[in-house]
A and B are shown apart, each in its own frame.
Chain A
């Protein structure tokens, strides 16, 4: 059974701080790593889909890196804003069409 772990479970930062959190996944039989942002009362929204070891993707102030050999991905947010407050989920395919999600990191950015 594929196990996707995220840490920390929750995080409180001040506006303007940069922050990062971690997703760990089995390094064997790796296919892809997905990051989603889920704001309260909204739909989960895809941020990145990463497949290659060493890959780095960026969307505005948010970026992610991938290490498939050691089985982790980092999500970075530069200069956090209150609108970045959300739960950030990572997920990895457990085989065929199935995505297995981590429990998420809940980020709160205080003004």
Chain B
């Protein structure tokens, strides 16, 4: 199984809502990533988990809270988001956290709209 799955595919939420994005992989990868992608821009790294520990937080606002319950799962908890947070959120995984040499496997993304 070389697939990274993400749920939900689409999410519409208000600024006062709390929601979560989920990501799952069963390739035995030990590194997992969250990216944010706005229209006509490249994916921007948000967080990296390596061996279930947060290793990189790219100065992401605290209204985004990542969680890695186990090596196969990655969540992104959302609270008090702003309309400018509307974007495609991509999850990816790689064999380990040596990002230099390991290709990343991406999920299809969650399209988030904040009203």
Contact = CB atoms under 8 A, between A and B. Distances in A.
Interface centre among B48, B58, B98, B103 (most CB of A within 10 A): B103
Given A96-B97, A98-B56, A46 B4 contact: no
Given A49-B103, A101-B42, A103-B41, A43 B108 contact: yes
A51 B100 contact: yes
**Closest 9 A-B residue pairs measured CB to CB?**
A46-B103, A101-B42, A97-B99, A31-B100, A43-B106, A44-B106, A32-B100, A97-B97, A97-B48
B-side binding surface: helix, strand, loop or mixed?
loop
A94 B58 CA distance: 12
A97 B108 CA distance: 21
Nearest to B42: A101
Interface residues of B, number: 29
B113 to A, nearest CB: 17
A102 B40 CA distance: 11
B66 interface: no
Interface of A: 4, 31-32, 34, 36, 41-46, 49, 51, 89, 91, 93, 96-104
Contact of B45 (A42, A98, A103): A98
A24 to B, nearest CB: 14
